[in-house]
């Protein structure tokens, strides 16, 4: 059945959880998830949620979408999932990093793959990782790459669902998520980690944020799930020092150097011809202190200039123009 027909069908469904049509709808959602049609499954789930007479029933019946009996819990007020699952084939994994950083990430992957051998010697792989650095330099992508390489499911914590204005609910949401995934092997990403891990010495924060930090300290201390927990932050200095000590490894993802910039440009422009007169080293000098994401955008913009003008070959002028246009977006 095509997508439009499914959506029309789901919009017509009403009733109780015990109705046969609702059970069939739940099975359709599960099947679409298995097929990898996660966006369609989420849309169908949202439609069904609106039509069911009791939100709590929907929450209990449809939240179990992970293997091994694990589930992604929802927040109490709006039934929003506390984490988002990303399909393996959608994970970004082709990265260009300095050799030192590449070796550190590769070591995390190798240690996890060798966890059984390590256990026979009473050793454990690194399972709690903190990545920090400027925006757009590949922190989240590094987490996705680790999940892709070691073959684990990838879940991203939804801070918009975790944080609540009601007293005690934010800490409760965080604990509920960790408890639910305690036996589920996955890479769990806490992106923009500093938002919930601010130092307790910040007098502008209300008591609720202090409670979240205290819960987080306990969760990190006791974390022994079969997967890997990865947190990312742009602002290293604002994180509570006690939390830093809970991580097995802390890695800075730096802005690309000249060598990495040239490799990024070549990689991004690999589907289009580059004029032999182009001096990528000169372009790389102009792109110093740019983030990896912005460098990719510069290369893509240059390629677009060429294609739109019907040349289908990128020249020095295209790249120089793209650099200048994107300079304003560069946060130094």
Residues 248 and 262 in one domain: no
Q: Of 224, 252, 280, at which residue does a domain stop?
A: 252
If one counts the domains in the chain, the total is 3
User: Which residue stretches of the chain are H helix?
Assistant: 3-11, 20-34, 38-51, 55-62, 99-113, 115-119, 139-150, 159-162, 169-180, 207-222, 241-244, 258-268, 280-286, 292-308, 316-326
Beta bridge partners of 273: 313
Q: Note whether residue 81 is domain-resident.
A: no
CA atoms within 13 A on the CB side of 233: 19
Residues 192 and 240 in one domain: yes
CA 283, chain centre distance (Å): 30
Q: Note whether residue 267 is domain-resident.
A: yes
Give the pLDDT of residue 61. 42
Residues 209 and 276 in one domain: no
Q: Note whether residue 290 is domain-resident.
A: yes
Give the pLDDT of residue 236. 64
Residues 208 and 284 in one domain: no
Residues 150 and 239 in one domain: yes
Say how far apart CA 150 and CA 216 lie, in whole Å. 26
Give the pLDDT of residue 182. 87
From first to last of its 332 residues, the chain has per-residue pLDDT tens of 678 888 888 888 766 666 778 888 888 888 888 888 888 888 888 888 777 644 444 444 445 456 666 788 888 777 788 999 999 999 999 999 999 999 999 999 999 999 999 999 999 999 999 999 999 999 999 999 999 999 999 999 998 888 877 767 888 888 989 988 888 899 999 998 877 776 545 444 556 667 788 888 889 999 989 999 999 988 766 677 788 889 999 999 999 999 999 999 999 999 999 999 999 999 999 999 999 999 999 999 999 999 999 998 999 999 999 999 998 887 55
pTM for the complete prediction? 0.75
Q: Note whether residue 70 is domain-resident.
A: no
Q: Of 252, 276, 300, at which residue does a domain stop?
A: 252
Give the pLDDT of residue 274. 96
Q: Note whether residue 84 is domain-resident.
A: no
Residues 126 and 48 in one domain: no
Residues 140 and 162 in one domain: yes
Give the pLDDT of residue 198. 65
* Structural domain containing residue 303: 258-329
Residues 106 and 184 in one domain: yes
Q: Of 188, 220, 252, at which residue does a domain stop?
A: 252
Give the pLDDT of residue 204. 46
Task: Find the CATH number of the domain harbouring 287.
Answer: 1.10.8.60
Residues 145 and 125 in one domain: yes
């Amino acid at each position: 059945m095509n997508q439009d027909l499914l959506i029309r069908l789901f919009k017509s469904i009403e009733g109780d959880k015990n109705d046969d049509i609702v059970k069939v709808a739940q099975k359709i959602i599960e099947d679409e998830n298995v097929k990898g049609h996660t966006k369609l499954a989420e849309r169908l789930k949202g439609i069904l949620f609106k039509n069911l007479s009791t939100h709590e029933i929907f929450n209990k019946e449809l939240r179990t979408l992970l293997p091994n009996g694990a589930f992604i819990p929802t927040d109490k007020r709006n039934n929003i999932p506390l984490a988002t699952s990303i399909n393996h084939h959608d994970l970004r994994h082709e990265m260009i990093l300095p050799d030192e950083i590449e070796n550190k990430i590769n070591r995390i992957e190798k240690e996890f793959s060798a966890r059984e051998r390590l256990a026979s010697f009473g050793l454990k792989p690194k399972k709690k990782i903190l990545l920090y650095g400027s925006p757009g330099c590949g922190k989240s992508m590094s987490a996705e790459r680790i999940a892709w390489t070691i073959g684990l499911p990838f879940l991203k914590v939804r801070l918009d669902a975790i944080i609540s204005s009601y007293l005690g609910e934010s800490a409760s949401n965080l604990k509920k998520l960790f408890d639910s995934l305690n036996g589920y092997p996955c890479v769990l990403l806490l992106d923009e980690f500093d938002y919930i891990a601010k130092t307790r010495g910040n007098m502008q924060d209300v008591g609720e944020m202090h409670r979240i930090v205290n819960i987080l300290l306990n969760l990190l201390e006791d974390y022994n799930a079969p997967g890997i927990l990865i947190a990312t932050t742009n602002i290293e200095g604002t994180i509570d020092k006690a939390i830093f000590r809970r991580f097995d490894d802390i890695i800075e993802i730096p802005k690309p150097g000249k060598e990495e910039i040239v490799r990024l440009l070549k990689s991004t422009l690999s589907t289009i011809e580059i004029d032999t007169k182009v001096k990528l080293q000169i372009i790389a000098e102009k792109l110093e202190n740019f983030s990896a994401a912005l460098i990719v955008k510069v290369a893509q913009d240059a390629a677009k200039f060429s294609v739109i003008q019907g040349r289908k070959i990128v020249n020095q002028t295209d790249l120089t123009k793209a650099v200048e246009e994107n300079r304003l977006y560069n946060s130094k």
